[in-house]
Amino acid sequence: MKAILTTIGKDQVGIVANVSQYLAQKQINILDLSQTIMDGYFTMMMMVEIPTTVAIEEVASQLNDLGKKLGVEINIRNEEIYRAMHQL
């Protein structure tokens, strides 16, 4: 399943490394990545492929916890939600 992962927060060392390490441990492949720093705030959007053996709800909860540790907000949503929003 494809999903969109967003990360937003005050820029600091290690955000990309920590998020990427978590994804690698879960065998979640990064398909595309865009990041920028806007006025001191780090923003990143990823398109990822989640294996069918991994529950997106579990990933979302664990990424939320990781975000709290890093001081950023991390969200992940099924790509189908975004696709449906743009079809309305």
Bridge partners (DSSP) of residue 75 are 6
| Domains detected in the chain | 2-87 (3.30.70.260)
- How far the first Cα of the chain sits from its last, in Å, is 22
pTM assigned to the model: 0.89
Helix (H) or strand (E) run with residue 33 in it: strand 29-38
User: Is the distance from CB of 39 to CB of 29 less than 8 angstroms?
Assistant: no
Token pair recorded at residue 37: 């720093």
pLDDT in tens, 10-57: 999 999 999 999 999 999 999 999 999 999 999 999 999 999 999 999
